[in-house]
Structure 1
Amino acid sequence: MIKKKNIFTVAIILFLFVLLSITLIVINSKDKNMQNVSVKLKWYHQAQFSGIYNGLEKGFYEKRGLNLTIYEYNEDDIAESISNGTYDFGIVGADELIVARSKGLKVKAIAVIYKTNPSCAYTLNKDIKNPQYFKNKTIGIMKGTNIENSFYLMIDNIGINRSEIKEVYINSDTEWLENNSIDVFTGYNINEPNILIEKGYYVKKFLFSDYGIDIYGDVIITSDENIINRPDVVFSFVSGTIDGWNYAYTNKEETLKILKKYVPIEIYDFNHQKLMLEEAIPLIFYHDTPAGIMNLDKWEHTQELLIKSDIIKEKVDDYFTNEFIEKYYETKTYETPYTK
C-alpha cells in the first residue's frame, strides 16, 4: 500500500515537472519571437500619446510580436536619435522631419497622428486682437520644438519680420504669461492654453492653421534602415499605434485610466488630460478620415512654406510612405472608426 502511494506521488511529481517544462518552453519560445523596440516621445507623458499607451497596455503591440519601451521627451534630437539607431521610432512634427531630411538624416514618416496643426499662439492681453498685434511684443518660444518652426512660418506668412518682435526662449511654464514676463506664448492648442483656461483666465488663442500654416502636427518616424531591413517590425508598430488610437476613440474613460500609469501622480490632472484627449481625437480623425494616412499635397505645402521662410533651401524627396498604414487598413478584420 505504501509502495502504491509512493508510485502515485512520484507520478504526480513527474507530471507536474513535465507540465512546468512545457510551460517554460512555450514562454521561452514566445520571448525569443518578441522583438524589443523603442519609441521616443516629443514631449512629456500626457494624453497627446494615448494611442501608444493603449497599444502597450491593451496588448496591441504584444500580439504583433513587439516588446515596446517608451521614452519621454528630453533635449535629444529625436530625428538624429532615430537615424543613428538609438531609438527605433519617434514622434516629431512634420516640419521637423523635413528639416531633418534636408540635413541628410535618413528618417521617414510612416503615419500621421495629428492631421492638422495644433500649434498656436495665445495671450491674456485682450488688446491683442490678431497676430498682426504681435509687433513690438515679447513672444515666448520653446526652442527646438516644431512649435518654434510653425511660429516662424506663421509670422512670415502674414508679413511680420522677426526684427519686429522680441523673441525669448523659455520653458513651457504658463507663469511667464501670468506674471506678465511675456505678452504672447506659443504651444499646442490642446495643452498649454487650457492650463490657463482651467485656472479661470480669459485666453485668446490664434491657431497657426488659421493663418496659412495648415500642416501636419505629430507624425511617426523611423529610419530608412528599419523600413528596408525590418518592414514587419515597422508594420507592427504602426498597426499597434493606430489600434491604440482607434481604441481611444471608442473608450475614452478607460484611456484616461491607462494614462494615469504614465503621468506622474503629482502632476496628473484628470480634467486637463480629459480635455486634451477630447481635443486630440478630432485632430487624428480629421474631417472623418481614417487615422494615419498621409497626403502628398499637404507634405508638399509644408515644404513650400519651409523654403519660403528660408528654413530649408530646397525640397527633399523620399521622406514619407503610406505603405504600412495602407497595409494596416487592407488587413483589418474588424471595424474601426471611419472604416465602416
Structure 2
Amino acid sequence: MVISRRGLLQAGIGWLPWRAMPRLTMQLDWHLNAQFAGLCVAESLGYYRRAGLVVNLKAAEPAMDVVQTVVAQPQTLGCAEESLILTAQSEGIDIVAIAAMLQASPLALMSLPQQSLTHPRQLIGKRIGVHSDGRKAVELVLYSHNIDPQQLDLVDIPYDKKYQRLSQGEFDAVQCYALDEPIEFAQRSGQVPTVLPLKDYGFDAYSQVIFAPTSLVMDQPQNIQHFLSATFAGWRWAIEHPSTTANLLVEQYVEPDYQNIAYQQASLEILADYVLPKDAPRLGIIDARRWHESAKQLQQAGLIAALPPMAMSVNDNLWP
C-alpha cells in the first residue's frame, strides 16, 4: 500500500483544536531514551500537532508483550524487533509492519574484556543470557554458522541485574542493545565490554519496527501517514542536532537513572548509522523483499512455523 507525497499534501493538514484532533498511542518496547529520539522530538517540537494528531508515547512496562498489548488497545501502534513481529504474523496475529526506525538490528552479545567473545564459534560451551526479543536472533546466528544451540547454555533472563550477573561471572555473555547498554555497562563497571553484533554474523533484520493492527492501517491510512511523516521528520532533526536532542531527552523524557547528557549524546551518535546508513534510500523504509528473506531465514532455521504475509509498506514518498 503506497500513498504518494502529493496525496498527503492534498489532504490539507491544518491546525485543529487540540480536543478535536485524532489521538494515537505509540506503545514502545522499552523505556524512553535515545533509541526513541525521533518520536520524542516529534512530540516536543510539535510535529505531531502540526500533522493534526495527538500522540501519546507510552513506555514499556516490565515483562510486557508489546504485540499483545498493541492488539488489545484501540488506536495503538507499537514498535518491536522484526523477529517478534514475524513470529506474531506467522501465528496468525493480524498486524502489519509499516516502517523501520532502525535499518539494522543493534541486538548484540557483550562479554567482559577478558572473555572477549568476538565470533559465534567462541560461544560454544558458554553460558549466555538472552531476553525474549533476542533468543530467535541468537539462534538464527548460531544456525547460520552450523552451531547447534544445544552446544551452549542459552538462558532466558530478565533485564534486571544482568550487568551484575555478567560482572560476577554467572554468564559468559549477555544480550545487549549495542546503541546504549555497552556505554552504560562501562560507566557502571569501569570495564569496556567486548560487543559481538548479531548483524555482522548473519542476522539481517530491521529494528524498532513500527507496526499496527491491520484494521487500524486500513481504517485510518491518512492518520498513519501523518504519524510516519512527523516521526521521521523528528528523526532527521534528532540526527542533525545530537547535542540539543540529548538535552531535550534528559530534560523532558528519560528516567532519573538515565539523565546523563553525555550518555544520551553518545547513544545518539551511534544511532545515526542505524537510522540512516549510507546504503538506505530514505528514512524509515521497509523493503518487502528483504523482509520476506528474513522470514525465510527464520523458517528455514525452524524458528517460525510458517511464512507470514509480505510486509505492507505505507512509507514510500512520505518524507524527503
Fold conserved between structures, TM > 0.5: yes
Alignment-derived partner of residue 233 in structure 2: 243
Tell me which residue corresponds to 2:286.
Answer: 294
Secondary structure, aligned partner of 1:65: coil
Which residue of structure 1 aligns with residue 36 of structure 2?
Answer: 49
Distance 1:251 1:158, change over 3 A: same
User: Hey, what does 2:299 align to over in structure 1?
Assistant: 307
Which amino acid is the alignment partner of residue 267 of structure 1? Y
Taking only the aligned residue pairs, the percentage that are identical comes to 21
Q: Which structure 1 segments of 5+ residues have no match? A: 1-27, 330-338
Equivalent residues of 1:41, 1:90 under 8 A apart: yes
State the match for 2:9 in structure 1: none
CA deviations 1:213-260 (Å, max 9, x no partner) are 121111111111111111111111111110110111212122112211
Aligned-partner SS, 2:98: strand
State the TM-score, normalizing by the size of structure 2: 0.88
- SS of the aligned residue for 2:176 comes to strand
| Alpha-carbon displacement from aligned partner over 1:159-191 (angstroms, at most 9, x marks no partner) | 221211112222333111111111111111112
Specify the code of the residue in structure 1 equivalent to 2:245: T
TM-score norm. by structure 1 comes to 0.83
> What amino acid maps onto 1:217 in structure 2?
S
Q: 2:175 aligned to 186, 192, 198, which one?
A: 186
How far is 1:87 from its partner?
5.4
Secondary structure of the corresponding residue to residue 17 of structure 2: helix
Instruction: Kindly state the Cα deviation for residue 284 of structure 1 after the two structures are TM-superposed.
Output: 0.8
Residue 269 of structure 2 is aligned to residue 278 of structure 1: yes
Deviation at 1:288, TM superposition (A): 5.1
Shift of residue 265, structure 1, vs aligned partner? 2.5
Provide the C-alpha distance between the structure 1 equivalents of 2:66 and 2:179, rounded to a whole number of angstroms.
22
Amino acid at match of 2:178: N
Give 1:33 shift.
Answer: 3.0
Change beyond 3 A, Cα 1:328–1:186: same
Kept in 2, the 8 Å contact 1:174–1:192? The answer is no
Corresponding residue for residue 176 of structure 1: 165
What is the match of residue 197 of structure 1? 186
- Assess if the C-alpha contact under 8 Å between 1:40 and 1:87 holds in 2: no
Q: Residues 171, 84 of structure 1: CA spacing in aligned structure 2 closer, same or farther, 3 A cutoff?
A: closer
Q: Distance in 2 between matches of 1:148 and 1:176?
A: 18
Residues 106 and 207 in structure 2, CA contact (< 8 A), matched pair in contact too: yes
Which residue in the other structure is 2:26 paired with?
A: 39
1:230 equivalent to 2:217? Answer no
CA–CA distance in 2 between the matches of 1:77 and 1:177?
A: 25
Q: Which has the larger radius of gyration?
A: 1
Matches for 1:254-265 after TM superposition, within 5 Å: 254-260=244-250, 261-265=252-256
Offset, 1:29: 6.3
More displaced stretch, 122-131 vs 309-318 = 122-131
The answer to which structure, 1 or 2, has the higher relative contact order (CA under 8 A, 6+ apart) is: 2
Mapped to 1, the partners of 2:292 and 2:22 lie a distance apart of 34
Range moving further from structure 2, 84-93 or 108-117: 84-93
